[in-house]
Amino acid sequence: MNLCPCGSGIDYGKCCEPLIKGARQAQTAEELMRSRYTAYVKVEIDYLFETTHPAHRQGFDHEGTRQWAENSVWEGLEIVTTGKGGTDDGEGRVEFIARFREKGVKKAHHELAEFKKDDGKWFFTDGSAVPRKPATSVKVGRNDPCTCGSGLKYKKCCGK
C-alpha cells in the first residue's frame, strides 16, 4: 500500500490523488487542506494554484513554490483544529502544522488557513501564521523543594 502523505492512513490512490488529478472535488475544507499538503509533497504546483480562490491568485509564485516543494523533505501534516468547512458550509478554517526539513534543518509551518466554497467547490483563500507560544520557565526559590524530586530543598540539592 502507498499511504497518502496527508496522514489519513488511506492509500494515496484513494485519498488525495483523485483530487489532485481532477477526478473528484474535495468535499470539505479539511480534505482540501490535506490534498494541498500532498500537492507540496508531490510537487503538484498547478493543483495548488487551481485550488487557490481566483480572487487570491494574484502574485502566486509558481517557480518559488516549486523550488520550496522540491527542496523540502516533507515529514508530516497535523490537523490541529477545524472550524466549519463541512459539506453544508460555505466557509471553513483549518489550523494545521506541516513538518518538513529544509537544508537538513527541521522546521514546522503552523498556519490557520481560510477556505471558501464557490459553486460547490472548495478553495483556499488565505492563511495566517500561528505565533509560537513563548517558552515559560519556573523560578525555583532556594528553599523550595528541588525540581529533581529528591525531596530535599533546592539549595541543598541541585541549587548548590
- Compute the average pLDDT of residues 26-32: 98
pLDDT tens for each residue of 34-85: 999 999 999 999 999 999 999 999 999 999 999 999 999 999 999 999 999 9
144 vs 127: which has the higher pLDDT: 127
| Band (150; pLDDT cuts 50, 70, 90) | low
pLDDT at 148: 58
Task: Give residue 78's pLDDT.
Answer: 97
Q: What is the mean pLDDT of residues 8-30?
A: 97
- DSSP-derived secondary structure for 47-107: HHHHTB-GGG-TT--HHHHHHHHHTEEEEEEEEEEEEE-STT-SEEEEEEEEEEEETTEEE
According to the model, what pLDDT value does residue 135 have? 52
H helix or E strand, kind and range, residue 130: none
Q: 3-state DSSP call for residue 6?
A: coil
The band of 160, judged by pLDDT with boundaries at 50, 70 and 90, is low
Q: Which helix (H) or strand (E) holds 108?
A: strand 105-118
d(CA 134, CA 132): 6
Q: At what angle do helices 62-70 and 29-42 cross, to 10 degrees?
A: 70
* Residue pair 158/149 in contact by the 8 Å Cβ criterion: no
**pLDDT, average across residues 81-101:** 97
Q: How high is the pLDDT of residue 145? A: 73
pLDDT of residue 81: 96
DSSP state of 44: -
This prediction has a pTM of 0.81
* Average pLDDT estimate for 122-143: 78
Lowest-confidence region among 10-24, 50-64, 122-136? 122-136
Mean pLDDT of the chain: 91
Query: For the chain, which domains are there?
Result: 3-133 (3.10.450.50)
- Up-side HSE of residue 33: CA atoms within 13 Å toward CB? 32
